[in-house]
Amino acid sequence: ANGQVRFVVGDGGATTPVVYQGDLPDLFREGQGIVAEGVFLADRTFEARQVLAKHDETYMPREIADRLKERGDWRPETGEAAPLRALKGDTR
């Protein structure tokens, strides 16, 4: 009601309740890694001052992906960049 959000984070074993005042990142969702800055309260609740959602290892900024697509170095089936092509005359 007042913009306060409560959620639980875990590492596959232990869990910790978190309280945060504000809007959560767009990528915030169940199962997604986060980074939270803040302090532990006396009851072991973590009071977050900032919450950031972590991208997975395949994340690529849209601007980079667009440039790769323009150059033809994009693998649409995987969403990954193709291996760099050798420069003409490069024998390495």
The upper half-sphere exposure of residue 12, i.e. CA atoms within 13 Å in the direction of its Cβ, equals 1
Between 91 and 39, name the one with better pLDDT.
39
Domains of the chain: 1-80 (2.40.50.140)
* Mean pLDDT of the residues in the chain: 79
Q: Is the pTM of this model over 0.85?
A: no
Please say if the pLDDT value at position 35 is more than 50.
Answer: yes
pLDDT at position 34, please?
A: 87
In terms of C-beta density within 10 A (0-12 exposed, 13-18 middle, 19 or more buried), how is residue 87 classed? exposed
